Amino acid sequence: MNTTGLVKCAGALVAVAICSACGTSAVAPSTATIDATYVGRTLFVDGRPVTAARLPNPLPRYATILPERHAKNTYEYIINDYGTYAGIFDYPKSDKEIGEIKDVGGQGCTNVLSGYGKKTFWIVAAYNQITEYKVPQKPLKTLSISYSSIGSPSSCAMDSSGDLAVGILYGKGGGDVVIFKNASGSGTVYTTPMDEEFFDGYDNQGNLFADGFSGDRSGFVLAELPKGSTKFEKVTTSNTVEFPGSVQWDGKYMAVTDQDANAIYQYTISGAKATLEGTVALSGSSDCAQNWIAKNVVFCADAGNEDGEVFSYPGGGSPLAVFSGNFDLPLGSVAAKK
């Protein structure tokens, strides 16, 4: 791959992580421009919990590495903090932001398990902003849940039949997952072993996986809703996962990101056990809040570096490209065809 920039020295890449693992009292924000606190290991920004593990890194970020300049009929989205915007990109034609979807934020998903969505995608921005878009940014329809009885949504995933799963991060239904049959209607609520649901994803058999924290906000939990079941079951991983990250089928494995480790763990699932089969290291990332695995690459919404990054998948390593544009605590990413 032709590049025009080199990564800065390793010292500039070290993530300065606030101690989100200790105590239950609030921790002072790391920057003067962000109203942020930690409660346990959950980060609150402007009074609302978010799915990032840490605040933006105040150290210099690495330089942009330009991608190969050839056409590809896809759009990529880096979705920022709730109530802000989603940046639109046209990679690998360019690494520069080409547009924005305003007044959104949170996470995204699309109508494929991995790869590039078929001309539509979803952004979960609020209890009444679960919106489907036609690329690049035309809203098609919006679903909602009850904020007072359920809470704040955090994530979304679609299965191959078109069902939409939306995870609840915080509120009375914290940890629940709401599934909208055929991505319509009012949805059905499913209880999980978690009190805070961060990310979710279907596998190729229609089983739904979700991760988050248990009640003490310290214990990582991975859970599965087997296809046809009405009950989530806890799944034990063969390795330790420190902080919940993206959950997505990659074509062969269930891929779970550990935001603290800056790595994607590839699992085979058998019953109530997830066995680690491989690790994809995301070198130079600070906090990939939500990843989206596409063809031969994975897109990272990096809350720590405040940018969007592209890595080889499953190769990992240093980024192939770093998106340039407007970022405000990136939390989500998704990709879809034109």
Architecture of the domain delimited by 74-337: 6 Propeller (2.120)
Q: If residue 144 lies in a helix (H) or strand (E), which one and from where to where?
A: none
Which strand ranges, in their side-by-side order, compose the sheet holding 220-225?
196-202, 208-213, 220-225, 233-237, 273-281, 263-270, 254-258, 244-249
Give the containing element (helix H, strand E) for 162.
Answer: none
Q: What local confidence, expressed as pLDDT, does residue 53 receive?
A: 64
pLDDT grade for 218, boundaries at 50, 70 and 90: confident
Which amino acid would we find at residue 68?
E
Predicted model pTM: 0.84
Question: Six-digit token pair at 267?
Answer: 């699992």
Residue 195 predicted with pLDDT over 80: yes
Mean pLDDT across the stretch 170-193? 96
Sheet with strand 36-39: strands edge to edge: 36-39, 42-45, 48-50
Rounded to an integer, the average pLDDT of 224-235 is 97
- In the chain, which ranges are continuous DSSP H helix? none
pLDDT band at 52 (very low <50, low <70, confident <90, very high): confident
Domain ranges for the chain, please list them: 74-337
Angle, vertex CA 258, rays to CA 51 and CA 302, nearest 5: 55
Q: What is the DSSP string of 183-230?
A: G-SS-EEE--S-SEEEEEEE-TTS-EEEEEE-TTS-SEEEEEE-TT-S
Whether residue 272 is predicted with pLDDT greater than 60 in this model: the reply is: yes
* Across 38-47, 75-84, 106-115, 300-309, least confident range: 38-47
